[in-house]
Amino acid sequence: MQPASLIAVKRDGLELSDQQIDSFIGGVTSGAIPDYQATAMLMAIFLRGMSPRETASLTAAMLHSGTRLQWPPDGRPVVDKHSTGGLGDKTSLIIAPLLAECEVLVPMLSGRGLGPTGGTLDKLEAIPGFRTNLSIHELQQQVLQLGCVITGTTHELAPADRRLYALRDVTATVPSIPLITGSIMSKKLAESPHALVLDVKYGSGAFMKTAADAALLAASLVRTGHSMNVATTALLTDMNQPLGAMCGNAVEVLEAVMVMQNHGPLDVRRLSLLLAAHVLVDCKAENSHEAAFVRCEKLLQSGAVYERFLRMVQAQHGDYRLPLKIAPASELTAARSGFLHRIHTEQLGSAVIALGGGRQQTSDTIDHSVGIEMLVRIGDQIEAGQPLVRIYSRNPDVVHQQVLDAMELSDAPLQEHLPLIHSRLTINAGQIEQLAVPDLQVPR
Ligand code: URA
């Protein structure tokens, strides 16, 4: 079928068959379909949506546009975690070595930051020498020897996504649940995992602004994972304020290391442990979330996870003996008293970019030494003159007003508590289930 006829099927709100989707993705991958027709189809999908069957078929076609990682059948489960992105989210740095300590294999292929939330690769590149461009052979070798790797995706894995994502980025077609599902899941499934855990964020700093919208995305991701026989669970987690205190690159590595050394913010620690516990149960390395959580907590406390992190850094040529370069600190204080009512988290993320810690365009270079440290949390009572944030920059004035505007104070205390974990989504007998998450807490 000609590309124009395929586009017409979707334009008219009809379902594309598996063969039609394969033909579209085949043409995108080979270059036979030009940009103008590919973007017309993306817009038709954006406007008309896709059924679960079409979404699964799109994901499979994108996955098969490239190669897949191969693992020896030695009984070790292969697992990964993916986050839809949030400010201050440094859990990958903790979860990869933590899961490796649990004797599962973790080929974590991550991305760079574009827009207000940072990217794991940018954070790790704050460590001098750290390589994030391993070849497929190198990354497989490292996973087999060390248990984990965090590196960039390669041209051989889901190449259709590279082309489609670049087109979506410039045609306002990124926020589409089937297109996001195809993009995320084709890359994750190319790792050939047995189980996946997804951190789907909602709130002022996330793609999805409400828990209800995040649940729709999570359901699509979970359903698609299961359609490819990968045990997939999603946790819906709060992104109405940064995760932890540190937002930036080097400062986030330092905070992740603090968690691995038994300090560091409890929200980062708890979320890392819960995500790890869910994927351990899904890959059958543990029988219950409680047992998995306790096992992970003990491993963190023992220092073994930090040791494994250092070995991963060394294996990827990073020099963690050097103190990481952090820009000079200055504090911003509250102009008035009140209660911290709301944080415009995306605006804080834009402030990190304005300091040089993120990129507006893919070609921008990053200053890893800058960042923002939150000194208060939503619900806190604030006195006039109290420090609200610490800015790490030689030129902090450029973001003063933007950061202050991002923090809304009210006169009355907040009535509702913002839970870190909203719920989890999984599949039972072919049906999506949304359940409460076990109330496992990190000991203080
Ligand atoms: N992350 C991805 O990899 N793809 C999307 O479409 C959105 C977020």
Element (H, E) at 29: helix 18-30
Please give the backbone phi and psi of residue 153, each rounded to the nearest 5 degrees, phi first: -70, 160
Spacing, Cα 328 to ligand 1 middle (Å): 34
User: Could you tell me the two tokens for 145?
Assistant: 């020897």
Same domain, 183 and 315: yes
Q: Which atom of ligand 1 is nearest to the CA of 111?
A: 3
Name the average pLDDT for the chain. 95
Q: Which atom of ligand 1 is nearest to the CA of 174?
A: 6
Please give the backbone phi and psi of residue 442, each rounded to the nearest 5 degrees, phi first: -85, 130
Spacing, Cα 2 to ligand 1 middle (Å): 28
User: Could you tell me the two tokens for 3?
Assistant: 């590309």
How far apart are the C-alpha atoms of 239 and 202, rounded to whole Å? 5
Using a 6 Å CB cutoff, which residues line ligand 1? 111, 165, 174, 179-180, 183-184
- Given a contact cutoff of 8 angstroms between Cβ atoms, the answer to whether 109 and 92 are in contact is no
Same domain, 148 and 220: yes
Domain housing 166: 79-321+419-435
Domain assignment of residue 352, yes or no? yes
**Interval 232-259: pLDDT, tens:** 999 999 999 999 999 999 999 999 999 9
**Interval 218-236: pLDDT, tens:** 999 999 999 999 999 999 9
Domain assignment of residue 59, yes or no? no
Same domain, 201 and 275: yes
Q: Which atom of ligand 1 is nearest to the CA of 165?
A: 6
Average the pLDDT over 3-20 and give the result. Answer: 97
How far apart are the C-alpha atoms of 85 and 116, rounded to whole Å? 9
Q: Which atom of ligand 1 is nearest to the CA of 179?
A: 6
Q: In this structure, what CATH number is given to the domain that contains residue 356?
A: 3.90.1170.30
Same domain, 28 and 158: no
Same domain, 181 and 204: yes
Say what the pLDDT of residue 86 is: 93
Confidence class for position 105, pLDDT limits 50, 70, 90:
very high
Q: Whose CA is nearest to atom 2 of ligand 1?
A: 184
Residue 117 reports pLDDT greater than 80: no
Spacing, Cα 184 to ligand 1 middle (Å): 5
Q: Whose CA is nearest to atom 3 of ligand 1?
A: 184
Residue 444 reports pLDDT greater than 70: no
Quote the Cα angle for 84-356-393, to 5°. 115
E strands in 9-114: 79-83, 106-110
Q: What percent of the chain has pLDDT over 70?
A: 99
Domain assignment of residue 362, yes or no? yes
How far apart are the C-alpha atoms of 32 and 19, rounded to whole Å? 16
Same domain, 405 and 429: no
Query: pTM score, two decimals?
Result: 0.96
Q: In this structure, what CATH number is given to the domain that contains residue 11?
A: 1.20.970.10
Pocket test for ligand 1, best of 84, 162, 165 (most atoms within 8 A of CB): 165
Q: Partners of 83 in the beta sheet? A: 199
**Interval 27-69: pLDDT, tens:** 999 999 999 999 999 999 999 999 999 999 999 999 999 999 9
Q: Which residue, among 238, 200, 252, 209, has the nearest Cα to 358 in the 3D structure?
A: 252
Element (H, E) at 107: strand 106-110
Q: Whose CA is nearest to atom 6 of ligand 1?
A: 180
Residue 116 reports pLDDT greater than 80: no
- Given a contact cutoff of 8 angstroms between Cβ atoms, the answer to whether 235 and 424 are in contact is yes
Same domain, 272 and 308: yes
Average the pLDDT over 117-146 and give the result. Answer: 95
Domain assignment of residue 271, yes or no? yes
Same domain, 228 and 208: yes
Between 113 and 361, the higher pLDDT residue? 361
Average the pLDDT over 336-349 and give the result. Answer: 97
Pocket test for ligand 1, best of 82, 114, 174, 213 (most atoms within 8 A of CB): 174
Domain assignment of residue 178, yes or no? yes
How far apart are the C-alpha atoms of 26 and 160, rounded to whole Å? 8
Say what the pLDDT of residue 252 is: 97
Q: Whose CA is nearest to atom 7 of ligand 1?
A: 180
Residue 114 reports pLDDT greater than 70: no
Residue 13 reports pLDDT greater than 70: yes
Say what the pLDDT of residue 112 is: 78
How much helix, strand and coil, in percent to the nearest 5, is found in the chain?
45, 15, 40
Spacing, Cα 179 to ligand 1 middle (Å): 8
304: CB partners within 8 A, 6+ apart: 101
Spacing, Cα 180 to ligand 1 middle (Å): 5
Q: Which atom of ligand 1 is nearest to the CA of 187?
A: 3
**Interval 145-204: pLDDT, tens:** 999 999 999 999 999 999 999 999 889 998 899 999 999 999 999 999 999 999 999 999
Domain assignment of residue 74, yes or no? no
Average the pLDDT over 97-112 and give the result. Answer: 95
Say what the pLDDT of residue 144 is: 98
Average the pLDDT over 371-400 and give the result. Answer: 97
Residue 10 reports pLDDT greater than 90: yes
**Interval 363-379: pLDDT, tens:** 889 999 999 999 999 99
Say what the pLDDT of residue 439 is: 80
Residue 443 reports pLDDT greater than 90: no
Q: In this structure, what CATH number is given to the domain that contains residue 97?
A: 3.40.1030.10
- Given a contact cutoff of 8 angstroms between Cβ atoms, the answer to whether 61 and 21 are in contact is yes
Domain assignment of residue 89, yes or no? yes
Q: Which residue, among 49, 24, 48, has the nearest Cα to 38 in the 3D structure?
A: 24
Q: Which atom of ligand 1 is nearest to the CA of 182?
A: 6
Paired sense of beta strands 338-343 and 381-382, if any: antiparallel
Spacing, Cα 239 to ligand 1 middle (Å): 17
Residue 265 reports pLDDT greater than 70: yes
State the DSSP code for 115: S
Say what the pLDDT of residue 254 is: 97
Residue 115 reports pLDDT greater than 80: no
How far apart are the C-alpha atoms of 355 and 334, rounded to whole Å? 21
**Interval 274-307: pLDDT, tens:** 999 999 999 999 999 999 999 999 999 999 999 9
Spacing, Cα 182 to ligand 1 middle (Å): 8
Same domain, 160 and 103: yes
Q: Whose CA is nearest to atom 5 of ligand 1?
A: 180
Q: Catalytic positions, please? A: 82, 161, 168, 183, 187
Same domain, 270 and 362: no
State the DSSP code for 397: G
Spacing, Cα 174 to ligand 1 middle (Å): 8
Q: Whose CA is nearest to atom 1 of ligand 1?
A: 184
Say what the pLDDT of residue 320 is: 85
Q: What is the largest CA-CA distance in the chain?
A: 67
Spacing, Cα 168 to ligand 1 middle (Å): 10
Number of domains in the chain: 3
Same domain, 303 and 160: yes
Domain assignment of residue 13, yes or no? yes
Same domain, 366 and 304: no
